Amino acid sequence: MFENEFKDKVVLVTGGSRGIGFATVKGFLAAGAKVYFLSHYEETGAKALAALKEINPDYEVMTKAIDLCDFKAVQALYKEIEAKWGRLDVLVNNAGTDSSTWLTKLKQSEWDSVCDLNMKGPYTMIKYAIPYLVKTKGCVVNIASVAGVYGSPTGLPYPASKAGLIAMTKSIAYSFANKGVRVNAVAPGVVATDLVANLPQFAKDSIGDTIPFKRFAQPEEIANGIMFLSSSAASYITGVCLQIDGGYRPNNQPA
């Protein structure tokens, strides 16, 4: 679909070792990009890297585990990418975490950990990427969620942080459009990842009833949206949040 679209382009993907992130890394590599992906753990990053090299040993791909909220580590990462490949064209902020705790039982530490990774992480990554993206007229794609659009009955930090990420996307897009930098988001619905696979069948059936397509998205379908927003086909698109959700609408039922 994107054959050679990203030839000689450099892409950075956070949370790239599994799920949507891994599908995105694979997609960009197949389309000719050089990819640096980040993971929470070195072991999972190494496993993902080995799987990619099995697909094509000639892929130009690197991985590292860093704290996305550590601005010094982030600055060092961008310097490393520039030294290695001379440029940065696309930043995909995919790393995130969620919560299912009811509000009255929510601990402050849980709120902090979710909001740090889901909002402070992208903020830090974008802030220090901007000088590099201005040089290449590059772009950012943030991975939000339909929970940030519609809300959810439990796990308040997750929908709150994803709604904040959508607002951050629109604001930064407005700020840097005059520099040629595009900033967009995708809001996935329910995706067939390891987390969803481990749900009991009745839960899968209940969630499936909210999706007109009557199936969960595949990670590759979300990756296609990310790559579209990063491509030349989206050259006049900035500040949008693209919902990729099979028409999902939440049930108006109590939890």
Q: Which positions are catalytic?
A: 158, 162
Q: Which residue, 87, 121, 170, is CA-closest to 14? A: 121
Long-range CB pairs of 126-130, under 8 A, 24+ apart, other chains included: 126/91, 126/93, 126/168, 126/172, 126/183, 127/71, 128/71, 128/74, 128/75, 128/78, 129/12, 129/78, 129/88, 129/91, 130/176, 130/179, 130/181
The beta-strand segments (E) located in the chain are 10-13, 34-38, 61-64, 90-93, 139-143, 182-188, 241-244
